[in-house]
Amino acid sequence: MAAIICGSLAFDTIMTFEGRFAEQILPDQLHILNVSFLVPALRRDFGGCAGNIAYALKLLGGQPLPMATVGNDGADYLQRLQDLGISTEYVRQVSDTYTAQAMIMTDRDNNQITAFHPGAMMQAHHTAIEARSDVRLGIISPDGRDAMLAHAAQFNAAGIPFVFDPGQGLPMFDGAELARFIEQATWVTVNDYEGKMLCERTGWSPAEISRRVQGLVITLGAEGSEVWVDGQKTHVPPVQAQAVVDPTGCGDAWRGALLFGLEQGWDLVRCAELGSRVGALKIAQRGPQNYQLDFRV
């Protein structure tokens, strides 16, 4: 069965700063911030949440259907997906803009500063979701604001269970909009920071959110994750990575594993355990789509 993955396809320009951001930014001078970081290492990767999640799901043996938009420079990305055996039937190319671009700078402590140009992503709402017999579930990951709103409503209308994963798109929505997403969704995933913002804007605690869906997962980075089901919390421990090389795309790798587990009918704890394993593999490799599995599911 297939999973529709709504989100961005982007080119990631990854830069490595060998120092620490905290040592370069003076907290009492933020009102006149003017800093420059020397980045000796730079590379360009295929990225974007939809692309990264689809990559992880495909590695695990799933059937991803990314729903995204690329620009006039997107031919290489379309070919990349096809070479991986990932369907591009829901990937639309537009001619009057660039593919989304993320400029990501990482310091020696794996803190990141990202500049993101949405480009073609802002036209993602023109592609609609309809019921399909071979589609078992979906995910709303960071995308254009209009697309996230429209696709959640379309998943709901089509009767397709979906994960609401707002990620860095969460600040675009107020409390009422976020509450509506949760009411339409089947599962919710956020990281620790996003979870606090989600609770603050909706006025609901993690326990309350989990009672409105089949489950809430809060990822905690190196601390593992919290799985909330019907108001009860279970801590899922992390998997130790062989090396910490590049955090870019770790959350997306985790979510690809989540989708695979949900497709198999697993409970959320088991899904989160697989997510930790895949995330540990990803963080040991540079780039969000360059790792391979070293285990069998």
> How open is the CA angle 206-249-102, to the nearest 5 degrees?
110
Q: Is 162 in contact with 186 (CB distance < 8 Å)?
A: yes
Question: Mind listing the pLDDT tens digit for each residue in 251-293?
Answer: 999 999 999 999 999 999 999 999 999 999 999 998 899 999 9
Q: Checking DSSP bridges between strand 41-47 and strand 10-16, what pairing results, if any?
A: antiparallel
Q: What average pLDDT does this structure show over 48-63?
A: 97
Surface-to-core class of residue 151, CB atoms within 10 Å of its CB (0-12 exposed, 13-18 middle, 19+ buried): buried
> Taking the CB of residue 75, how many other CB atoms lie within 10 A of it?
12
Q: Which residues, at least 6 apart from 139, have a Cβ–Cβ distance to it below 8 Å?
A: 3, 4, 5, 6, 7, 53, 162, 163, 165, 255, 259
| φ, ψ of residue 68 in degrees (nearest 5) | -155, 175
Question: Mind listing the pLDDT tens digit for each residue in 110-122?
Answer: 788 888 899 999 9
In the chain, the percentage of residues whose pLDDT exceeds 70 is: 100
Q: Is 258 in contact with 271 (CB distance < 8 Å)?
A: yes
For residue 147, the model assigns a pLDDT of 98
Instruction: Copy the structure tokens of residue 230.
Output: 């019907």
State how far Cα 287 lies from the chain centre: 14
Task: Say how far apart CA 55 and CA 62 lie, in whole Å.
Answer: 10
Checking phi first, is residue 139 left (phi over 0); if not, alpha (psi -120 to 50) or beta? beta
Write down the catalytic residue from 45, 252, 267, 294. 252
Task: Say how far apart CA 8 and CA 50 lie, in whole Å.
Answer: 5
Question: Mind listing the pLDDT tens digit for each residue in 169-183?
Answer: 999 999 999 999 999
The pTM of the full predicted model, rounded to 2 decimals, is: 0.91
For residue 192, the model assigns a pLDDT of 96
Per-residue pLDDT band for 216 (boundaries 50, 70, 90) equals very high
Greater model confidence, 58 or 110: 58
For residue 296, the model assigns a pLDDT of 86
Greater model confidence, 116 or 238: 238
Q: Checking DSSP bridges between strand 100-106 and strand 10-16, what pairing results, if any?
A: parallel
Task: Say how far apart CA 57 and CA 137 lie, in whole Å.
Answer: 13
230 tagged catalytic:
no
Please give the sequence-ordered ranges of beta strands (E in DSSP) within 211-295, or none if there are none: 215-219, 225-229, 232-236
